[in-house]
Structure 1
Amino acid sequence: MPLLENLPVGVDTAQWPVWSTTARLVVTDPAVLPTARRLVEAELLAVELACSRFREDSELRRLRPAAGRPVRVSLLLAELIEAALWAAEHSDGDVDPTVGAALYRLGYDRDFADLPAYRAELPIVVVPAPGWHQVKLEGQELTIPPAIKLDLGATAKAFTADRCARLVAERCGVGVLVSLGGDIATAGPEPDGGWRVLVQDGPDQPHCTIALAAGMALATSSTISRRWLADGRTLHHILDPRTCQPADPVWRTVTVAAEHCLEANMLSTAALVRGHHAPTSLHKPARLVTASGEVLTLNGWPA
């Protein structure tokens, strides 16, 4: 997971737990940190209330789609769904928000922090996802078949990192880095030397430090960070929409740099799904770590 390394003089940071991961906020003016944190925390809560699969009071959970008829959703949820559909289209369907029901079947039915390490007697159901083309969004009018359960987890975190970074830069007039787990977005002017980011899977694993320029983003997707056992199988949360089963762990992690965190996350997630074919489909600076720990870098990495 990427971590900020060696904070430059004159910046300040705050971090706190959120969404079974860590939110980290860094600003180039310590005086605005309390205000910036309030802005970020408010956005995180708004996104959670809009699209959490695990909160019964979230707008997504309370949706009651009517077959063939649109349901009006909030502007924020519409934007989150629009981001998920964008990722699906630009990944040729490898990042598909209609895998929600499959995640429930595999036992990922609650916040990961509350997930039992072992789930017994879960059926193996190999079927394709319903498909993102069945989701229609026109403005704030959403039309989906009632049987489809949306999962926006593959894109919502990256979308939110981008959104929070822009908001803090605009409202506070500073350079800012927002990290939500493996998703990092920056906005505004960079500190001296750029944003120094340590990219590492975990302790004693291959690592490197990169300088992330102002306005750039970084996303890491992993087959090892959110895993659980079920019926003797080790499962993870990155599903192949063609089978609705965890993607073959050809890669331990994939990290991608791009202009927006949403795009970086779409590319890194799709790479895990594509397995051995991933290197030929990546067109941004990327770092891929194999299941055995070997590192492959592409397209001018480090960014």
Structure 2
Amino acid sequence: MATTTAAVEWELWSTRARLVVTNPGVLGSARELVDSYLAQVDDAANRFRADSEICRLAERSGEVTLSPTMAHLVAEALAAAELTDGDVDPTVGGALRRLGYDRDLQLVTGDAGPLRAVIRPVPGYRRLRLEGSRLRLPAGVELDLGATAKAVAADRAAELVHGALGTGVLVSLGGDIATAGPAPAPGWQVHVQDRDEDPWTQVELPAGSAIATSSTVSRRWVRGGCTMHHIVDPRTGQPARPFWRSVTVAAGTCAHANAVTTASLVRGERAVDWVRGLGLPARFLRHDGVLVHTDGWPTGLVA
């Protein structure tokens, strides 16, 4: 017999947020916890708010003290950079600004203006040093945590709800989905599809696991007559070559899954063997519509 769940959805960060709990009686309290935490993330890492911590950091250099939320987000971004050998790099802020992604995507309308297609590597995550809440930030380095913060926030929000309320919980922030606590029977059912025109599949996500999807077609804008997307290749400072439309990976945390999906978009055709070597179930959708899977997809997701 299926377990009763309760859910709520809302608009957040140019995407959809969804919260599901296995104890319907605590949905309101769970939403309050999630809202409070996501507000802290927004205060810390929203590159499109002049008063955010990340924007204030752009005006500073040397050794700076971070808020606890920002320190956690930066630590996770550096861990993703290490895991992916720099394919996911938090120092891409300047590159994204030059490419025209300098405000909320809903406000980037029409052609964002002339484009100087300069091939310029980003400063690189190895120039950053984080010790506790102290970050050494070289002059001229602009941070962007968009490649990791949403996934980290999904993980942490799910942990907070389960820890405080004891309920099983699923938190979805766009394509980043994290769970904590017991799953409903027969498990968390997740619809995997990036765009309406893409092929889809339904998977069963085990309790306490996560899944992430990254895409080269969902966040796009036009600059100098060229279509841009938000996944930057740190080695060029330009949008990664769109070999894949989307990549979906399941892992123990959403932060881990998302780091792998984002790096896969940067690595292109080389990504499949890399993800196979990591032993993670994955689904790759090529731009010509061909699907490629690693071993264990989707059966490897079932506990």
TM-score, with normalisation over the residues of structure 1? 0.95
Residues 58 and 143, structure 2, Cα contact 8 Å, conserved in 1: no
Quote how far apart the aligned CAs of 1:18 are.
0.6
Matching residue within 39, 47, 50 for 1:45: 39
Partner in structure 2 of residue 291 of structure 1: 287
Quote how far apart the aligned CAs of 1:88 are.
0.4
Partner in structure 2 of residue 300 of structure 1: 296
**Runs of 4+ with deviation above 4 angstroms:** 64-67
Quote how far apart the aligned CAs of 1:245 are.
0.5
Task: Name which of structure 1's ranges 179-188 and 293-302 shifts more when overlaid on structure 2.
Answer: 293-302
Partner in structure 2 of residue 259 of structure 1: 252
Whole-Å separation in 2 of the counterparts to 1:114 and 1:204: 24
Residues 65 and 143, structure 1, Cα contact 8 Å, conserved in 2: no
Partner in structure 1 of residue 49 of structure 2: 55
Matching residue within 28, 36, 40 for 2:30: 36
Matching residue within 222, 226, 236 for 1:233: 226
Matching residue within 122, 128, 133 for 2:121: 128
Partner in structure 1 of residue 94 of structure 2: 101
Quote how far apart the aligned CAs of 1:71 are.
1.0
Residue by residue, what CA displacement relative to the aligned partner does 1:153-187 show, whole Å, maximum 9, x if unpaired?
00000000000000001111110000000000000
SS at match of 2:184: coil
Matching residue within 86, 90, 106 for 1:113: 106
Whole-Å separation in 1 of the counterparts to 2:53 and 2:60: 15
TM-score, with normalisation over the residues of structure 2? 0.95
Quote how far apart the aligned CAs of 1:144 are.
1.1
Partner in structure 2 of residue 10 of structure 1: 4
Residues 195 and 218, structure 2, Cα contact 8 Å, conserved in 1: no
Whole-Å separation in 2 of the counterparts to 1:189 and 1:129: 42
Whole-Å separation in 1 of the counterparts to 2:164 and 2:110: 42
Amino acid at match of 2:88: V
Partner in structure 2 of residue 5 of structure 1: none
- Tell me, which stretches of 5 or more residues in structure 2 are unaligned? none
Residue by residue, what CA displacement relative to the aligned partner does 1:271-290 show, whole Å, maximum 9, x if unpaired?
00000100010021000000
Partner in structure 2 of residue 168 of structure 1: 161
Quote how far apart the aligned CAs of 1:201 are.
2.3
Amino acid at match of 1:116: T
Partner in structure 2 of residue 137 of structure 1: 130
- Tell me, which stretches of 5 or more residues in structure 1 are unaligned? 1-7
Quote how far apart the aligned CAs of 1:117 are.
3.4
Quote how far apart the aligned CAs of 1:14 are.
0.3
Aligned alpha-carbon RMSD (Å): 1.1
Whole-Å separation in 2 of the counterparts to 1:64 and 1:217: 32
Whole-Å separation in 2 of the counterparts to 1:91 and 1:204: 30
Partner in structure 2 of residue 82 of structure 1: 75
Residues 183 and 218, structure 1, Cα contact 8 Å, conserved in 2: yes
Whole-Å separation in 1 of the counterparts to 2:59 and 2:198: 45
Count of aligned residue pairs for this structure pair = 295
Quote how far apart the aligned CAs of 1:192 are.
0.4
Amino acid at match of 2:27: L
